[in-house]
Amino acid sequence: MGRYSIMAYTFGALFFIVSFSFSIFYGVKVVTHDLPSEKTSLEKYRYHFVLVPEELDNEYWRLVEKGAKAAANDYGIVLEYVGPKQSNIDDHLKTIEMSVASKVDGIMTQGLSDEQFTPLINRVIEKGIPVITVDTDASNSKRMAYIGTDNYYSGYLAGRALIADTKGKANVAIITGSFYKNHQIQRVKGFEDAVKAEKGIKIIDIQESDISRVIAAEKAYQILQAHPEVNAFYGTSALDGIGIAQVVKKYKKNDQIYIMGFDTLPETLEYIRKGMINATVVQEPYEMGYEAVKMMIDLIEGKKVPSVIHTNTKILRVGDLPPGHPDRMEERQ
Ligand code: BGC
């Protein structure tokens, strides 16, 4: 073999080894969502927990993450925040499975549906990894504890508030994050129960947003086209009220349309100040995250933990916001 062929072979072999190593390294990184799997590198921490939300970049979940990270910092925990970029049940379940495979000490996640989450949560518990449900419970599973809003009650509160604010007369359309997820089902059920005895309140339509503000806006638009009699909306997940308000602002300038939203994201508060969203249901995402981490530590250390902790929920209107905002009295424009 000539000198050049030897060099070419050597170069080829080196190139192969380098690119092969890179693909293995990054392949593993993608599959594990970057979960640290080496227990040894975590030795200086007490435990390694994972928080898996239904949608990673959702502003509401970033608040839960913030609370959880603050507690992790205070108590010497490694906290991974991993999950689907956009709402996707299969990815959500896969992320939980991967967390189990990387032998984390505790998993915090939602119990979105009994059908898909309960069997998985039970399997995880049987493997000896504690699971706490956060924000959405899977109460029929063997999860160790739940921390979050009483979702039925929050929907009930929304219904009572809507009756009070509309003086018991409204044609309501509901936009819900999902027809199949536990928390959304309960928020709708609570609302329906609250208004069912009110003769003047009619639920005209209910549509799904897949927790996306763009879809919420599309659905609001379609509802207004199909049912011009609709004069009130109730959005049951954090971005629904915002999507509805955008459409109402654009297409229904002169009509009085009442909007009840969910959560207190900055944009929602802005719309409340401007009078475009009339009321919203307050949840405590930061506290959910913070307390979930504390509960997980207590569970692992054999302390008694209540099986259900309901964080506060209430209705917020413009009058509940701190005074002094120049745009507070602004009308729809
Ligand atoms: C819910 C979360 C959901 C979010 C979607 C919140 O109201 O509590 O579970 O992921 O809305 O925007």
**Residues 278-282: what's their mean pLDDT?**
98
pLDDT for the residue numbered 9: 66
Asked whether residue 31 carries a pLDDT value surpassing 90, the answer given is no
Residue 136 CA, closest ligand 1 atom number? 9
Across the chain, what does the average pLDDT equal?
Answer: 90
- Who contacts 90 (Cβ-Cβ below 8 Å, separation ≥6)? none
d(CA 169, CA 171): 7
Residue nearest to atom 1 of ligand 1 (CA): 237
* 67 CA distance to ligand 1 middle (Å): 15
d(CA 148, CA 83): 19
Protein residues whose CB sits closer than 6 Å to any atom of ligand 1 = 54-55, 58, 60-61, 135-136, 177, 183, 211, 237-239, 262-263, 283
Task: Write out pLDDT tens, residues 152-196.
Answer: 999 999 999 999 999 999 999 999 999 999 999 999 999 999 999
Residue 181 CA, closest ligand 1 atom number? 9
Asked whether residue 150 carries a pLDDT value surpassing 70, the answer given is yes
* 239 CA distance to ligand 1 middle (Å): 8
| Nearest CA-CA partner of 210 in 237, 245, 192 | 237
Rounded to a whole number, what is the distance in angstroms from the first to the last CA of the chain?
81
Q: Are 144 and 131 in contact (CB under 8 A)?
A: yes
pLDDT band at 331 (very low <50, low <70, confident <90, very high): very low
- Using alpha carbons only, what angle is made at residue 57 by residues 80 and 191, rounded to the nearest 5 degrees? 110
Look up the pTM and report it.
Answer: 0.85
Nearest-10 crossing angle of helices 240-251, 266-273: 40
Residue 54 CA, closest ligand 1 atom number? 10
Q: Are 112 and 89 in contact (CB under 8 A)?
A: yes
Mutational pocket test of ligand 1: of 186, 263, 286, the residue with most ligand atoms within 8 Å of the beta carbon: 263
Asked whether residue 41 carries a pLDDT value surpassing 60, the answer given is no
Mutational pocket test of ligand 1: of 237, 268, 283, 288, the residue with most ligand atoms within 8 Å of the beta carbon: 237
pLDDT for the residue numbered 243: 98
Q: Are 281 and 160 in contact (CB under 8 A)?
A: no
d(CA 333, CA 321): 21
pLDDT band at 329 (very low <50, low <70, confident <90, very high): very low
* 60 CA distance to ligand 1 middle (Å): 6
| Nearest CA-CA partner of 113 in 139, 131, 85 | 139
Residue nearest to atom 3 of ligand 1 (CA): 237
Q: Are 282 and 238 in contact (CB under 8 A)?
A: no
pLDDT for the residue numbered 277: 97
User: Maximum distance among all alpha carbons in the chain?
Assistant: 95
d(CA 333, CA 330): 8
pLDDT for the residue numbered 29: 44
Residue nearest to atom 10 of ligand 1 (CA): 54
Asked whether residue 267 carries a pLDDT value surpassing 50, the answer given is yes
- Who contacts 28 (Cβ-Cβ below 8 Å, separation ≥6)? none
* 246 CA distance to ligand 1 middle (Å): 19
pLDDT for the residue numbered 14: 61
d(CA 24, CA 21): 5
pLDDT for the residue numbered 15: 59
Task: Write out pLDDT tens, residues 252-264.
Answer: 765 789 999 999 9
* 40 CA distance to ligand 1 middle (Å): 35
d(CA 131, CA 299): 10
176 forms beta bridges with 208
d(CA 108, CA 184): 19
Asked whether residue 10 carries a pLDDT value surpassing 80, the answer given is no
Task: Write out pLDDT tens, residues 61-103.
Answer: 999 999 999 999 999 999 999 999 999 999 999 999 999 999 9
Asked whether residue 315 carries a pLDDT value surpassing 60, the answer given is yes
Q: Are 276 and 257 in contact (CB under 8 A)?
A: no
60 forms beta bridges with none
pLDDT for the residue numbered 252: 79
* 6 CA distance to ligand 1 middle (Å): 62
**Residues 279-303: what's their mean pLDDT?**
98
* Residue in the structure block whose two tokens are 């990270």: 69
Mutational pocket test of ligand 1: of 211, 236, 267, the residue with most ligand atoms within 8 Å of the beta carbon: 211
Task: Return the beta strands (E) in the chain as ranges.
Answer: 47-52, 77-81, 106-109, 131-134, 145-148, 170-176, 201-208, 232-235, 258-262, 279-282, 308-310, 314-317
* 165 CA distance to ligand 1 middle (Å): 24
Residue 263 CA, closest ligand 1 atom number? 7
SS3 146: strand
Q: Are 249 and 258 in contact (CB under 8 A)?
A: no
Question: Half-sphere exposure of 3 toward its Cβ, with a 13 Å CA cutoff?
Answer: 0
